[in-house]
Amino acid sequence: MRSMTSPQRGDSFTHPAGRQRFFALVPCAGSGARSGAAGPKQYESLAGRALVLWTLEALGRVRELDGTLVVLSAGDTQFAALAAEGDAEAAAACWRANVGGATRAETVYAGLHDLLVRGALPTDWVLVHDAARCLVHPDSIRRLIAECRDDAVGGLLALPVPDTLKRADAIERVGETVPRERMWAAQTPQMFRLGVLRDALRAGFAHPELQITDEASAIEAAGLAPRLVRGDFENLKVTWPEDFALAERLLLSRAPHAPRAPA
């Protein structure tokens, strides 16, 4: 991935004619209320560094990416502080934009607009990846790009659901068993043409009943069928308090020379 600087400095990128381009977009404006953390979970320390730095490091190891944009809330100052630290090369190499919205969809939409303003084209590919999926393998991202770069729609990392699924009733008793055949659990990155995703999200804002919870659901609402690309079970989204301990163990097991958690 090419070295980049902050969008506040007015940098832009040029379009090399005839070459597909791929940009990562990391929505990083959430509060992480479910995580039990004292502040936004993306800045919680995990195996010796902020969670989001692990995420950006993984993206930075994917040479196919032309750049990464991190979309922050309007008042976020923590990311800029991280980028100034010695162990934060991945953060310093990213563009950042303080344009995040109240929802994930609004944050992603604002990020897409930022990329377009900076010279991206509607035909470029964008890979939207959760800041909290810090365990994603670069090989999984490369596989997603390889399998979707010539696809008419795009796609997402996902895993077939192995468990029996139960739908709860209002008092948390089993209301019904949901057949798991052909059921997949969505992950990220989710990869679509920038213009197609922008238009799909915009249409979703006009129809809140559609419940757009990720980029693929916006694309589906537009009448398109994203491709499912098999992901990895370690690519979990750090969401609940107990997820932090699991993610830390996995990070330390795969990166023996990484900064270690305080004793």
Q: Which amino acid is at 120?
A: A
pLDDT digits (tens, 9 = 90+) for 188-224: 999 999 999 999 999 999 998 888 999 999 999 999 9
What was the pLDDT predicted at 8? 35
Which stretches of the chain score pLDDT less than 50?
Answer: 1-10, 32-36, 257, 260-263
pLDDT digits (tens, 9 = 90+) for 167-198: 999 999 999 999 999 999 999 999 999 999 99
Pairwise CA distance, residues 231 & 187, whole Å: 7
What was the pLDDT predicted at 215? 98
Q: Hunting for tokens 């800029």 — which residue is that?
A: 80
What was the pLDDT predicted at 40? 86
Contact 132, 37 (CB under 8 A): no
Contact 56, 135 (CB under 8 A): no
